[in-house]
Structure 1
Amino acid sequence: MKKKEYAVIGLGRFGGSICQELSKEGMQVLAIDMDPDRVDDFKDIASHAVIADTTDEKVLKELGIRNIDHVIVAIGDNIQSSILTTIILKELGIKKITVKAQNDYHEKVLIKIGADYVVHPERDMGKRIAHHIISSNVLDYLELSDEHSVVEVKAGVKMGGKTLIDLDIRARYGCNIVAIKRGREVIVSPMATEEIHHDDVLIVIGADKDISRFEKNLVVDDD
């Protein structure tokens, strides 16, 4: 089976990190940037690293971009270049395009012109850090939509020794515990009679406002 081929356009911190991880996983990666120094940094990491202006359709065709399965547009501060590059990629029939957005307006434009997936790395990381600042028991935070998220939390002292029935989280907070990580064991769709152990890691899904109430009332730091 043919391996998927990827292209990463823009080799700043975000694009460079994606390029490194894909390459580490053994994927074929075409790394593209206009900065010769950045391209030089990735010549021994990516399958191919080239200096190119991706707002030029002819250049993209010459690079064989049509053969790429998934293109990640990680262009830094130049919103115009990001948008133009995405338009050209769509016109060339690229199967999947992921684009880094600088702001909400940029995201709206990207969605209108056909980007398959839009990411806000700085905003999303900010949300994760904010939740961790509120409570160090919040281990991770993943936004599912504008109003719903999945949060990974460490059970605090208030939850230890109580069952899911005792805590009644769904009725009281509108959230659902979809899994419990206990050491190396993962309990998926735990029974209502499952007793929570102190330091269990809970995977909770729900509306942001409900998760917020859940965190404030039950997920508190032990100190």
Structure 2
Amino acid sequence: MKKQFIVIGLGRFGSTICKELHHLGHEVLAIDSNKENVAKMSKHASHVIVANAIDEETLKSIGIRNFDHAIVAIGDNIQPSILCTLILKEMGIKKVWVKAHNAQHHKVLEKVGADRIINPEYEMGIRIANQLDSDKIIDYIELSNEYSIIELVATNKVSEKTIRELDIRDRYGCTLLGIKHDTDLNLSPSSDDTVYQDDVLIVMGKNQDLKKFEEKGL
């Protein structure tokens, strides 16, 4: 379903989001105070505007209220990011996602009502660290402080065993969401499906349970 997005701030992070959303077929309004940044996005957005994103009257004049989703990716100066987020929420934008630069910035964004706060460096650092921690882990997504989703490579230990035989839920308290076999993805596998060496298991659970499964189950 086609959606309408505003992307404010067209540095590396914002421009990447803008390009991908546009590529996925959504309508994207790209805004930045820097003319060069805006010019670079002219072919990767539905509309591009050079504007001051902390000027409420300017935002009103370009029809910001017609959009349900906004991504605030303003540069290293956190004050404009906070002010822009506050203005967008006061104008009734339903979903405002904001890039945070540090923990203090994150706390302030929570106070002013950001719907989701993104910490790219922190989140990527967590994922990379977990991949480095184990040769079995291909990817890692943190859902909360307690729960995560990980992708694990199946070893010879579990090869040619069915999901019923592995009994991942009862033994380790984890949920098997899917199995990747070569280019095929089996979502919600049945108890009779078989795991083979080098398959990728997509597993969700508490962090300590996932660690137990990784160390003892594979």
Query: What TM-score comes out, normalization by structure 1 length?
Result: 0.87
2:38 aligned with 1:39, yes or no? yes
Q: 1:179 deviation in Å? A: 1.8
Q: SS of the counterpart of 1:85?
A: helix
Trace 1:1-223 onto structure 2 (pairs within 5 A).
3-219=2-218
Equivalent residue letter for 2:186: I
Q: SS of the counterpart of 1:30?
A: strand
Q: 1:129 deviation in Å? A: 1.3
Q: In terms of mean alpha carbon deviation, does 93-102 or 210-219 score higher? A: 210-219
Q: 1:28 deviation in Å? A: 1.5
Contact 1:99–1:117, Cα closer than 8 Å, also in 2: yes
Q: 1:117 deviation in Å? A: 1.6
Distance 1:210 1:141 in 2: 14
Distance 2:27 2:198 in 1: 40
Contact 1:156–1:218, Cα closer than 8 Å, also in 2: no
Distance 1:150 1:159 in 2: 19
Runs of 5+ unmatched residues, structure 2:
none
Distance 1:130 1:218, change over 3 A: farther
Sequence identity of aligned pairs in percent?
51
Distance 2:165 2:10 in 1: 50
Distance 1:156 1:127 in 2: 24
Distance 1:106 1:217 in 2: 40
Q: SS of the counterpart of 1:31?
A: strand
Q: 1:169 deviation in Å? A: 2.9
Contact 2:99–2:120, Cα closer than 8 Å, also in 1: yes
Equivalent residue letter for 1:104: A
Distance 1:59 1:209 in 2: 49
Distance 2:143 2:213 in 1: 17
Equivalent residue letter for 1:195: T
Runs of 5+ unmatched residues, structure 1:
none
Distance 2:189 2:131 in 1: 25
Equivalent residue letter for 1:189: S
Shift >4 Å, 4+ stretches: none
Contact 2:136–2:214, Cα closer than 8 Å, also in 1: no
Q: 1:165 deviation in Å? A: 4.5
Q: 1:42 deviation in Å? A: 0.8
Distance 1:204 1:48, change over 3 A: same
